[in-house]
Amino acid sequence: MVFGPPQDPILYSFPSPNNLIDALASFVIKVQKDSIEKKGRFTIALSGGSLPKQLNSLIGKPGLKWDLWHVYYADERAVPLDHPDSNHKLCSDVFYSKVPIPVQNIHPIDPNYLDDLDELSDAYEQELIREFAMKDSARYPVFDLILLGMGPDGHTASLFPGHELLSEEDRWVAWIDDAPKPPPRRITLTYLVINHAARVAFVAAGAEKADTLHTVLDKPEEGLPASRVRPASPGQVFWFVDDAASSKVQYQRAQFKL
Ligand SMILES: O=C(O)[C@H](O)[C@@H](O)[C@H](O)[C@H](O)COP(=O)(O)O
């Protein structure tokens, strides 16, 4: 694939969190359909925080080919898979337990390496190599869709403001042991992966996100981690937000259509 300069983000703002969640579901279904038509499978990376619950509206919708989903994590906390802080546990509880994604298509971290973050992130990178380098013969993993949240400091995945991981240029998966959001030990996809995705969709709702969203979209030159998500063309970043979160944003809103 030939990559070009990034395109501007597309911002969708909805009157209520429920409208947002419904639109997100339609978007995911459409992306899934297009990906399966093109390549016979759908690769998606999920985040933690409030995001997994937003996928609830997919449950029971027609047109979903769950057996062709291949699910990874944009970031994960270095804790056992059944620990309350685990993103995998959260996704299992609120999402996988309700939809028939084959268990072998869900890719959690390897809990054998929890004591050694270097090995933990290397092992996860190997998972990506198996999915992408071996099946697509690609130089970078090209996720069909990466779903991200945004923290109040502008972090996304486990890429935090001012952290050296923001300039990681070699690894697809990196680790951090001093994350300001607990728990401190985590692994994360790096920009090398995020910025080669076919589509990245941020989901952010609530007035407490308003100041940060304004900075991320209207002042990208400040370089907050969420602003640095700029997938190389033909990749595209989308923002799915509610009007409370976008209340201070001047950036142009787009009409949501599929
Ligand atoms: O596992 C994590 O901690 C995340 O992946 C993190 O990047 C999260 O997405 C944001 O902090 C937003 O969290 P909320 O959606 O809960 O605001």
Domain that holds residue 226: 10-242
Q: Which of 20, 47, 54, 72 to mutate to test the pocket of ligand 1 (most atoms within 8 A of CB)?
A: 47
Q: Report whether residue 149 contacts ligand 1, using a CB cutoff of 6 Å.
A: yes
Residue 134 pLDDT class (50, 70, 90 cuts): confident
- Residue 4 in any domain: the answer is no
Q: What percent of the chain has pLDDT over 70?
A: 100
The 10 Å Cβ neighbour count of residue 208 is: 11
Residues 136-163: what's their mean pLDDT?
94
- Residue 2 in any domain: the answer is no
202 Cβ neighbours under 8 A, 6+ residues apart: 148, 149, 150, 156, 226, 229, 237, 238, 239, 240, 241
Q: Report whether residue 87 contacts ligand 1, using a CB cutoff of 6 Å.
A: yes
Q: Report whether residue 121 contacts ligand 1, using a CB cutoff of 6 Å.
A: no
Domain holding 21: CATH number?
3.40.50.1360
Q: Report whether residue 188 contacts ligand 1, using a CB cutoff of 6 Å.
A: no
- Look at the pTM and tell me if it is higher than 0.95: yes
The 10 Å Cβ neighbour count of residue 32 is: 22
Q: What's the pLDDT at 139?
A: 82
**Per-residue pLDDT for 258 more than 90?**
no
Q: What percent of the chain has pLDDT over 90?
A: 93
- Residue 253 in any domain: the answer is no
- Residue 173 in any domain: the answer is yes
48 Cα to the center of ligand 1, angstroms: 5
**Per-residue pLDDT for 102 more than 90?**
yes
ipTM associated with this complex: 0.98
- Residue 52 in any domain: the answer is yes
Q: Report whether residue 50 contacts ligand 1, using a CB cutoff of 6 Å.
A: yes
Residues 59-67: what's their mean pLDDT?
95
Q: Which residue's CA is minimally distant from atom 2 of ligand 1?
A: 48
What's the total number of domains in the chain?
1
- Residue 252 in any domain: the answer is no
Q: Which residue's CA is minimally distant from atom 1 of ligand 1?
A: 48
Q: Report whether residue 157 contacts ligand 1, using a CB cutoff of 6 Å.
A: yes
38 Cα to the center of ligand 1, angstroms: 31
- Residue 94 in any domain: the answer is yes
pLDDT in tens, 2-53: 888 999 999 999 999 999 999 999 999 999 999 999 999 999 999 999 999 9
Q: What's the pLDDT at 122?
A: 98
Three-state helix/strand/coil letters over the chain: CCCECCCCCEEEEECCHHHHHHHHHHHHHHHHHHHHHHHCCEEEEECCCCHHHHHHHHCCCCCCCHHHEEEEECEEECCCCCCCCCHHHHHHHHCHHHCCCCHHHECCCCHHHCCCHHHHHHHHHHHHHHHHHHHHCCCCCCCCEEEECCCCCCCECCECCCCHHHHCCCCCEEEECCCCCCCCCEEEECHHHHCCCCEEEEEECCHHHHHHHHHHHHCHHHCCHHHHCCCCECCEEEEEEECCCCCCCCCCECCCCC
Q: What's the pLDDT at 133?
A: 77
Q: Which atom of ligand 1 is nearest to the CA of 181?
A: 3
pLDDT in tens, 232-249: 999 999 999 999 999 999
**Per-residue pLDDT for 144 more than 80?**
yes
- Residue 248 in any domain: the answer is no
